[in-house]
Structure 1
Amino acid sequence: MTEGEKVVTTLASGTTNTLTDGTSYILATDETEPDATFYSKADLVINGDGKLVVEGNYSNGIRSKDDLILVSGEYEVTAVNNSLKGKDTVAILDGTYNLTTAQGDGIQANNEEDADSGNVYIDGGTFSINSGRDGIQAVTKLAVQNADITIQTAEGSTSTDIDTAESYKGLKATGTVEISSGILNLNTADDGIHANSAISILGGEMTIASGDDGMHADETLTISDGTIDIQESYEGIESSVIQIEGGNISVVASDDGLNAGGGSDTEITIGTFGEDSFAGGQMGGGMDVDESKQLIITGGTLVVDSEGDGLDSNGTVDMSGGVVIINGTTTGGNGSLDYGSSFNITGGSLIATGTSDMAQNASEGSQVSLGITYDTTQEANELISLLDEEGNVVVSFTPTKSYSHVVISNPDLTTATYTLVSGGENDGEESNGLYEGGTVTNGTELADLSVTDTITNLTSSGETASATGMMGGGQPGQPAQ
């Protein structure tokens, strides 16, 4: 369609409509279009309850040079390049979409010349996308709500035979990504969700397996609500500024769980697709203190299983609410907590286990934070408990991995004397290894610990320890190593 201001196509109920093109086009001199099986130079609107089958053997499947608006219907699109492409906007209200590409994106909006264009809006529908490059890409803004989306890029998170100069992300925007609701299942060779500017998660249910980062934003990444399960990643959640305000978040990472502009403790290591960029032009992996890098936790539940740092900030960490549980590395060279400038804790519940060689406690705050260093490595799946002088449980936790250092902070922990207990059973209610109340029985009392300061560091025998375990890693105010 090369003429007209708008093209409207209705898929009649009960019909299956098939469009197929050839592998080559004969175009006018110096022309590169049309380049899609269903092509419109003007706005293209498709509605109705029928089915549309499109085979894009030359390049794209369905393409509009203006807006592509899909109201309803069932779509099965296979393309060499992009399945669905709208230069200015792709807007989808409902429908069922099975999209497969060899070398392109499942859905793409690519107008870089107009700041108000290049957007993808999804407000419903069911999607199954198998793409040779990105699943859904918007130059400006990508917004998702009320949809059920399954995406696999390349061969998924275990992809090996790929061109690392290309992009294989699940949801991607040069500007912002906003997810308000819906169900997302992402299995990606590259980042699961990526924005060059900002990511905002307001709700929804997300399951992510990524060959690189679970979520990455160059500038800010905010999670206000929703359920996020990052089952596989290099780094779980990464941005210059990370704000956790709510939600239920689980992260498994082969390097850092959460990374506010930081890098590896022992060396500059990078994921499959190279170093990530952050606001201010800094690349990932740097060890210099940068107080513009912030991790802010005010609510929600965050559970981290990492082989690098659990929480890593090249600048500051501020925690005033929420529940944070970290099962950190067992091999050393990283810490369950790693910050370059300060860790201020004023509320919430924190328990973080890991090795002692690079361990850090919080550095300041109005809520007591206790770091405990063990002389020997403690076994996984063995209860660790602190009991007050009346025998009440202040904290009781079962780590999933072996450890030699633990940081504990919650509103019930004050300057007082506590009994450190190893092993046994707790009959209280358990969630993610952390018990609510209950009674501890059959455990072994290791020592009485005297907590005298808001930030206290002790050994498991009750003696004073350094702020960074027995080995003395990066001190507060020094670069996080």
Structure 2
Amino acid sequence: MNLRSKKLAALASSAALVSVMLAGCGVAVSDSSGSLTSATTSTSVTSTAQTGTSSGATVVQAASVSPSVDTHYDADDLTWDAADEVAINLADGASTAGNGVTVDGNTVTITEDGVYRISGTLSDGQIVIAAPDDAAIVVILDGVTITNSSGPAIAVTSADEVSLVLADGSTNAVTDGAAYTISDDSTPTGAIASASDLTIAGNGTLTVTGRTGDGISSSDGLVIASGTLSVTAVDDGIRGKDYVQVLDGTVTVDAQGDGVKSDNADDADRGWVRIDGGTVTVNSGDDGIKGEQALTITDGAVTVETSVEGIESQAVTISGGDVSVTASDDGINGTMGTQQGGTESDDGSLVSITGGTVTVQAGKDGIDGNGSISLTGGTISITSSGQGGDGPVDGNGTVTLDGATLTANGTTITSASQLSTGHR
């Protein structure tokens, strides 16, 4: 396997650039495509996840990413020699151990770098990964059911990075307990809780139920390369503190909190969500998809079926894909998150749509920008409120409409002057 150090996330760095570029802009309306430019990062993605063997090697053919997007993920990490796999069979009171594995009751702990194939059931137990900080570990879930009444079903407390691979055709399910606490501050609360970079790949299915906090949560980065995931959570569905990237797969989230989120607000190169393919469907009790500092959709089918605010970030960029958002408040919201009620000045945030098909149904603003809004491509259809200052497109800063096809509440909009500005 290829060990890789944590690097800068190029996309989120662009969010910081956009914020600086737009800071101090006054309220204005422009139809010139040159008046506002968003910083974007290109991605090359190949998809179709399969697991195969060739000359004794097991290869998970998951999505690959061009070097322009820099995360912990490397498709080469999903290649290994089948002879190196350590088999672990889960069974209440009788789980098997092997090289790099210890068993204590119903707690199975992986302690060394390697590839581990796990099958079986724990009715009240846990998989723990507690390995050296430079360890790259592959865990193959091959028909696994784990329920833990007092903590996460899978907990990564230490490692450089961990790949959860869903074996071809396998069905896997993990459920954590209700109302427990974790004493280790570095490990989040979730059915799958990781203090290290986490990758999910493969061609099987995984059902995740988070009964105390999140469904899948990483304190570092999280990449979904492939697989079929169904996540239910009492808090956030899928969280990667530093970043979340979806390359491919089918992801369904039902969360009482945010659906998909990255919430690192402290590091300029972190706190971003990026969707480059696959199918993502979200029902949430708060934000559907939220990237604290940046949120980009380049491809895929993204549907936020229920939410308060559908898509939110300091820098929202949609350049492709089929995006559908339903929200009780604002559909797509660009905000630095620093304004107080009643403030209508440009806060430096940006919403940029350059391509794709975007459909928004919102209880308030369809696209709300506390900063600037740039609509220079794609097909956009908005149904929204027209009451109390709310409208289809509402920006405090520069609003650009040049190249996009925009329909708002049944009316074709051809000029930015037809859109409201100055409302938050």
Kept in 2: contact 1:304–1:325 (CA 8 A): no
1:298 matched to 2:402? The reply is yes
Q: Provide the C-alpha distance between the structure 1 equivalents of 2:408 and 2:303, rounded to a whole number of angstroms.
A: 19
The aligned counterpart of 2:357 is 227
Kept in 2: contact 1:67–1:87 (CA 8 A): yes
1:56 matched to 2:176? The reply is yes
Kept in 1: contact 2:152–2:175 (CA 8 A): no
Give the deviation of 1:51 after TM superposition: 2.4
The aligned counterpart of 1:383 is none
| Partner-residue secondary structure (3-state), 2:377 | coil
Q: Provide the C-alpha distance between the structure 2 equivalents of 1:152 and 1:213, rounded to a whole number of angstroms.
A: 15
Give the deviation of 1:188 after TM superposition: 2.8
CA RMSD in angstroms comes to 2.0
Q: Provide the C-alpha distance between the structure 2 equivalents of 1:130 and 1:224, rounded to a whole number of angstroms.
A: 29
1:121 matched to 2:264? The reply is no
Give the deviation of 1:39 after TM superposition: 0.4
Q: Provide the C-alpha distance between the structure 2 equivalents of 1:51 and 1:337, rounded to a whole number of angstroms.
A: 49
Q: Provide the C-alpha distance between the structure 1 equivalents of 2:393 and 2:351, rounded to a whole number of angstroms.
A: 11
Q: Provide the C-alpha distance between the structure 1 equivalents of 2:171 and 2:156, rounded to a whole number of angstroms.
A: 19
| Partner-residue secondary structure (3-state), 1:71 | strand
Q: Which runs of 5+ in 1 are unaligned?
A: 25-34, 111-117, 155-167, 262-292, 311-322, 327-334, 341-479
Query: Which structure's residues are more often helix, by fraction?
Result: 2
One of 19, 40, 51 as aligned partner of 2:146? 19
Judging changes above 3 Å, is the alpha-carbon distance between structure 1 residues 339 and 137 closer, same or farther for their aligned structure 2 residues? closer
Judging changes above 3 Å, is the alpha-carbon distance between structure 1 residues 223 and 46 closer, same or farther for their aligned structure 2 residues? same
The 5 A counterparts of 1:226-245 are: 226-239=356-369, 240-245=371-376
The aligned counterpart of 1:29 is none
Deviation string for 1:41-86 (max 9, x for gaps)? 2222111322220011245111210111111231100112111111
How many equivalent residue pairs?
A: 251
The aligned counterpart of 1:78 is 209
Q: Provide the C-alpha distance between the structure 2 equivalents of 1:259 and 1:87, rounded to a whole number of angstroms.
A: 34
Q: Which runs of 5+ in 2 are unaligned?
A: 1-128, 179-188, 264-270, 336-348
Q: Provide the C-alpha distance between the structure 1 equivalents of 2:377 and 2:418, rounded to a whole number of angstroms.
A: 21
Kept in 2: contact 1:7–1:40 (CA 8 A): no
Kept in 1: contact 2:380–2:406 (CA 8 A): yes
Give the deviation of 1:96 after TM superposition: 0.2
The aligned counterpart of 2:277 is 146
The aligned counterpart of 2:62 is none
The aligned counterpart of 1:105 is 236
The aligned counterpart of 1:69 is 199
The aligned counterpart of 2:331 is 214
The aligned counterpart of 1:3 is 131
Q: Provide the C-alpha distance between the structure 2 equivalents of 1:127 and 1:214, rounded to a whole number of angstroms.
A: 20
One of 227, 232, 256 as aligned partner of 2:391? 256
Give the deviation of 1:185 after TM superposition: 1.3
Judging changes above 3 Å, is the alpha-carbon distance between structure 1 residues 8 and 338 closer, same or farther for their aligned structure 2 residues? closer
| Partner-residue secondary structure (3-state), 1:256 | coil
Give the deviation of 1:339 after TM superposition: 5.0
Counterpart amino acid of residue 100 in structure 1? T
| Partner-residue secondary structure (3-state), 2:153 | strand
Kept in 2: contact 1:169–1:188 (CA 8 A): no
| Partner-residue secondary structure (3-state), 2:355 | coil
- Work out which of the two has the higher radius of gyration on C-alpha atoms and give 1 or 2: 1
Kept in 2: contact 1:92–1:123 (CA 8 A): yes
Give the deviation of 1:88 after TM superposition: 0.9
TM-score by length of 2: 0.56
Greater relative contact order structure (CA < 8 Å, 6+ sep): 2
Judging changes above 3 Å, is the alpha-carbon distance between structure 1 residues 337 and 18 closer, same or farther for their aligned structure 2 residues? closer
The aligned counterpart of 1:199 is 316
Q: Percent same amino acid among aligned pairs?
A: 24
Q: Provide the C-alpha distance between the structure 1 equivalents of 2:407 and 2:320, rounded to a whole number of angstroms.
A: 18
Deviation string for 1:191-237 (max 9, x for gaps)? 11000x20000101011110111100120010000111112331100
| Partner-residue secondary structure (3-state), 1:213 | coil
Q: Provide the C-alpha distance between the structure 2 equivalents of 1:209 and 1:231, rounded to a whole number of angstroms.
A: 5
The aligned counterpart of 2:301 is 183
Q: Provide the C-alpha distance between the structure 2 equivalents of 1:98 and 1:338, rounded to a whole number of angstroms.
A: 39
The 5 A counterparts of 1:426-445 are: none
The aligned counterpart of 1:87 is 219
Give the deviation of 1:337 after TM superposition: 4.3
Deviation string for 1:316-356 (max 9, x for gaps)? xxxxxxx6269xxxxxxxx954457xxxxxxxxxxxxxxxx
Q: Provide the C-alpha distance between the structure 1 equivalents of 2:225 and 2:365, rounded to a whole number of angstroms.
A: 33
1:324 matched to 2:413? The reply is yes
Q: Provide the C-alpha distance between the structure 1 equivalents of 2:391 and 2:361, rounded to a whole number of angstroms.
A: 13
Judging changes above 3 Å, is the alpha-carbon distance between structure 1 residues 186 and 65 closer, same or farther for their aligned structure 2 residues? same
Counterpart amino acid of residue 222 in structure 1? S
Kept in 1: contact 2:394–2:419 (CA 8 A): no
Q: Provide the C-alpha distance between the structure 2 equivalents of 1:19 and 1:337, rounded to a whole number of angstroms.
A: 52
Q: Provide the C-alpha distance between the structure 2 equivalents of 1:214 and 1:9, rounded to a whole number of angstroms.
A: 38
